[in-house]
Each structure stands twice: as C-alpha cells, then as structure tokens.
Amino acid sequence: MSQHVTKETFEKMKDELQRMKSIDRPAASKAIAEAREKGDLRENAEYDSAKEAQGLLEAKIKQLEIAISSAIILDPSKVDVSKATLLTKITITRLNDNKVFTYQLVGDKDANIDEMKLSISSPIGKGLLGRQVGEVAQIKMPNGSTHSFRIDNITL
C-alpha cells in the first residue's frame, strides 16, 4: 500500500534503511556469532535472543524497503488550496469553545502533533479533508463526543 510522504520524510526513511543495513545488521550478526561461541545452542538463551532480534530487524528492513518503493512523494507546488488536502495548513475554530488551531494535513509517516502535523487518517484529518473555507465539519472523536469545527483558512 502506498503512502504519501514529504520529500524530507522520504529522505529520513532512506537514511534509516541505510543505517539498518550498514550498522544494525552487522551488529546483529556479531551478537549471534558471540552467542554461538558460548556453547550448546540448544540451551543458549543469548543465542535465541540474538536470532530473534535479527529476525525482527530483517522484518523491519523489509517493511521499510516496501514503504520506500511504494512511497508517493508530495509536491507542494501542485497542492490545491481551495480545499483541505494533503500538505495544506488548515486554520480551524472549535465552535463549542472558540479555540483556534492551525494544523498541516499530512500522511501517516509525517504526522507529529507536537509540530501540528495532523494525519489525514486521524478523525479530525478525515473530517477536514475536502472541506472549504467557511464550511463546518461535525467530527466524531474517539471518545464518542462530537465537535464542530469551522474552516477559517487554508494555505500552504
């Protein structure tokens, strides 16, 4: 399944894959070799643990390779700001208390609430996607409550 990512996130993914292959993989092999030297493999918990860690690392590498090969890199120059879409910054007002928030709508890999980057697969992200300035979105939250958000501005 392809994921939309920014150029920066794509580069981070490639760097992480390179680190896993060039640093983590050799370290895992070394840990297995050291554990193997400690005697009978049938009763060697350290060996079993090292093999399990290697298996998890290889699974992560494979998963990251798939994510990189199917990634769709977002081009900010092609973003339509007439509606809430990926990469747009949305200023919204929560109508029940008039609190104002500005979020950037991003793919799952770029999401970071501390940076006000909201995943389009989150409840609020889904509820805002495709909306235009002036529209009010009724969004059901994970706790079961519903909030009304007015779209005040959409920019890049």
Q: Residue 70 — φ and ψ, nearest 5°?
A: -110, 5
Q: What is the DSSP string of 65-106?
A: HHHHHH-EE--GGG--TTS--TT-EEEEEETTTTEEEEEEEE
Identify the residue with better confidence: 140 or 37: 140
Identify the residue with better confidence: 48 or 125: 125
Nearest C-alpha neighbor of 137 from the set 101, 87, 86: 101
Identify the residue with better confidence: 84 or 47: 84
**What does the pLDDT read at residue 4?**
83
Q: Residue 82 — φ and ψ, nearest 5°?
A: -80, -15
Query: Mean pLDDT throughout 25-39?
Result: 86
Query: Mean pLDDT throughout 93-122?
Result: 93
Identify the residue with better confidence: 40 or 155: 155
- Residue 38's pLDDT band, with cuts at 50, 70 and 90, is confident
Domains identified in the chain and CATH numbers: 4-73 (1.10.287.180), 76-155 (3.10.50.30)
pLDDT in tens, 49-80: 888 999 999 999 999 999 999 998 888 888 88
Phi-psi map region of 39: left, alpha, beta (phi>0 left; psi -120 to 50 alpha): left
